[in-house]
Structure 1
């Protein structure tokens, strides 16, 4: 009996001894203030380190990543001199060891059993979370060089001065910050790849400020390519003897024609000028040609503008006459064969700009003189002379009209009549002062006006009245 009791005491003592040793071992295991072995956080080895040291190491690694610098170098082309440096954290980058710091602190939380269990199951790998917001970088760059985006491009201009010089003003280009290439460079550098974490990544990045050139719609090269090089022709006619109405019509039509622009290949129609003048200024009463006679009408004088323009045109290289007709009567302001009439709805003056470049028509009215100037492209060593040759004259017929108011044998000449003309006009081309060609460009007829004699009844006269109808020339 005593032996059995002694055995049980030994067993109980042994169990108590084992329990004490086990609890001590458990307490020792749970009470360790170190990181379990083989623990990696975002490539950083913290296994076996004291917890505080591990936390410090992780903080320092985060700070190191966020303290890396990006330098944006100015763009000399855009005169955006100077460099600007930012830390990674300032441009929207953040590095954070996701969860590991919280987990490390849990090693110190709870009773021995809880801490031991947590330590035993502690993860061996933690993530380093990296984020980057390119919008922050974009905003900083634009704010640093904000004046660049505020500029606007300016078109080149062309001015024809009062002394007929063609003056060009160059265009101005503007610039726009091109942040997108910078963002791509920064994004490819700032996020450290997983296989490089734990080491010492590249600490500095230098990038060139991206600037895009904004061209205006009209550059100097584009404007000059239109071909308005110089004044290529000028011609003047006089209307000093014109009455007020005719002078007004000439001046108003010239104003409507001024600064008329013709594109390459475009056909000019004088009817468009007349329509514009009617709309903007209106026409006054002045003599027009109707049925070969000067009679009162509206718009008299408009053909002095078309005829002056015609004379400038035929002295210019590269322009094709599409439609032109002479007046039925000679005009006083130009030689025969060198005029161009107009009649609303039936006769137009048209030509095609075949120079291959633009053509600008300008007009000046001063001291009752009309000047037409052409600006465009024409070789300096080319000129044209125009001369008209009288082919023949046509004598007027005698037209007798019965006048019952006259006594027997009486007659009265009421219209003296005028001679008609047939005229050929030639254009001679000179190159470097030497004649190289001569061509006939028109064959014109100015009809004779009959001598009208009133005679007594029975003297063989016609009883009909004079025809006052027909096409109205030099008017509307």
Structure 2
């Protein structure tokens, strides 16, 4: 009986060992094993390893093609592996290889406890993609921006030169899109994946600080008006002062609603040039001084401004009429006392240009103005003021003798009107100024009387002293 029991146990052991032997020496992957979702359980080991290798390789060989839309034949293709992409079923190969390692019992135990799931580890290097694209199309970034420019030609044409854009590769967004494609999502592993990625080369235009559109939006379309005065009879000093003031004014630009300040122009001219001696107006009389002639520029500019309908903020006439303009149409300047200011009410930018040629000063305004509109200027003398007579006793003359040493000049009260004409029809007529030009007295010398007691000439009443007012000079 004992022998039978022993024999039975040996038989059972032999059968069990045979089972263990067969189990341990299987050439298949243990059941229910998957790699990244790919079912390889029960597959022959070699086939499973080949399947995993083929899948990894298929991911590595996916192609990325970037093309330059501006040049149809300009494109470049890389594999995912060339851009640093790595795909590996982490630990799967090593685990499968260990199925054939160790003693029978160790193999059986290892197989029994075999890990059921393995992940697909993926990574790539966006920096390599960035570098590869920039190397391929480095020539695109070898350019610089250039501002648009506006030129006013000698024949008063406004000419625009377009800006030049620069171009830069804008790879950031493309890299993010490629990242979402190259890294296979977990739920897609084991399924057919898109083998090719294709995209347009991302090129961003870089605009300069000043574009053609920006310049044109400023509205400097054409010459809208010009006005001229001459100074042919002026001495060299005065001619110089007119010229350098005009040079300082040339190319002065005003933004919409900006106020022009003649005082700032004079300050600029003094920085750039040196004014010379020429007659100025001091308390209503012409005397030698520095800067005489600067008001011919302000007066010429004033007439151009009047005839374009701009708003006059501050302006006064000279105390004496000027020879180069009708009364009522001049604009004087006295530092710290009298200024000439106007506002750019065109709604667009305004450029002031000046020209001096053959002792003739021309002020030109460039900007925007309706071509069917014009402004007419009319000055009306309301009153003529007769000069007074001032007598002064003189011992040089015979008693009672009278000699006129300076002839007086009449004064005037003048009103100036601006009329807007549109399509040939009067739209409005507004008074822009009421000016007084004081008369200049006639100066008479009278011989002093002898000692007979005859009355002496009646002296002129003393004039009230007033702070000195220097016009048309600095």
Gaps spanning 5+ residues in structure 1: where?
A: 1-6
Cα distance, 1:295 vs structure 2? 0.4
Q: Distance in 1 between matches of 2:312 and 2:460?
A: 44
Q: Distance in 2 between matches of 1:199 and 1:310?
A: 83
The structure 2 residue matched to 1:32, chosen from 26, 31, 34, is 26
The structure 2 residue matched to 1:165, chosen from 125, 139, 157, is 157
Hey, what does 2:237 align to over in structure 1? 245
Q: Distance in 2 between matches of 1:73 and 1:271?
A: 61
Contact 1:67 / 1:87 at 8 angstroms: preserved in 2? yes
Hey, what does 1:98 align to over in structure 2? 90
The structure 1 residue matched to 2:59, chosen from 58, 65, 83, is 65
Cα distance, 1:80 vs structure 2? 7.4
Q: Distance in 2 between matches of 1:18 and 1:430?
A: 126
Cα distance, 1:218 vs structure 2? 2.8
Asked whether 1:291 is paired with 2:288, we answer no
The structure 1 residue matched to 2:132, chosen from 113, 134, 140, is 140
Q: Which SS does the other structure have where 2:301 is aligned?
A: helix
Contact 2:259 / 2:341 at 8 angstroms: preserved in 1? yes
For residues 292-324 of structure 1, the C-alpha deviation after alignment (integer angstroms, 9 at most, x for no partner) is 21101111000110111111111113x011221
Hey, what does 1:446 align to over in structure 2? 437
Asked whether 1:460 is paired with 2:451, we answer no
Cα distance, 1:16 vs structure 2? 6.1
For residues 434-454 of structure 1, the C-alpha deviation after alignment (integer angstroms, 9 at most, x for no partner) is 445444433322222111122
Gaps spanning 5+ residues in structure 2: where?
A: 450-455
Asked whether 1:389 is paired with 2:387, we answer no
Contact 1:417 / 1:452 at 8 angstroms: preserved in 2? yes
Cα distance, 1:283 vs structure 2? 1.2
Paired residue total: 467
Matches for 1:405-424 after TM superposition, within 5 Å:
405-424=396-415
Matches for 1:91-240 after TM superposition, within 5 Å:
91-240=83-232
When the two chains are superposed, the root-mean-square deviation of aligned CA atoms in Å is 2.7
The structure 1 residue matched to 2:318, chosen from 319, 327, 342, is 327
Contact 1:94 / 1:130 at 8 angstroms: preserved in 2? yes
Hey, what does 1:343 align to over in structure 2? 334
Contact 1:93 / 1:131 at 8 angstroms: preserved in 2? yes
Seen in structure 2, the aligned counterparts of structure 1 residues 416 and 55 have a Cα distance that, compared at 3 Å, is: same
Q: Distance in 1 between matches of 2:175 and 2:269?
A: 60
Cα distance, 1:64 vs structure 2? 1.0
Q: Which SS does the other structure have where 2:68 is aligned?
A: strand
Asked whether 1:50 is paired with 2:47, we answer no
Contact 1:170 / 1:220 at 8 angstroms: preserved in 2? yes
Q: Distance in 1 between matches of 2:447 and 2:72?
A: 100
Q: Distance in 2 between matches of 1:463 and 1:216?
A: 72
Q: Distance in 2 between matches of 1:372 and 1:80?
A: 54
Q: Which moved more, 1:101-110 or 1:230-239?
A: 101-110
Q: Distance in 1 between matches of 2:106 and 2:462?
A: 136
Q: Which moved more, 1:283-292 or 1:111-120?
A: 111-120
Hey, what does 2:295 align to over in structure 1? 303
Hey, what does 1:4 align to over in structure 2? none
Q: Distance in 2 between matches of 1:34 and 1:434?
A: 105
Seen in structure 2, the aligned counterparts of structure 1 residues 376 and 463 have a Cα distance that, compared at 3 Å, is: closer
Q: Which SS does the other structure have where 1:75 is aligned?
A: coil
Hey, what does 1:473 align to over in structure 2? 471
Asked whether 1:276 is paired with 2:256, we answer no
Cα distance, 1:159 vs structure 2? 1.1
For residues 240-281 of structure 1, the C-alpha deviation after alignment (integer angstroms, 9 at most, x for no partner) is 221111111111110111111111111111111111111211
Matches for 1:11-30 after TM superposition, within 5 Å:
23-30=17-24
Hey, what does 1:432 align to over in structure 2? 423
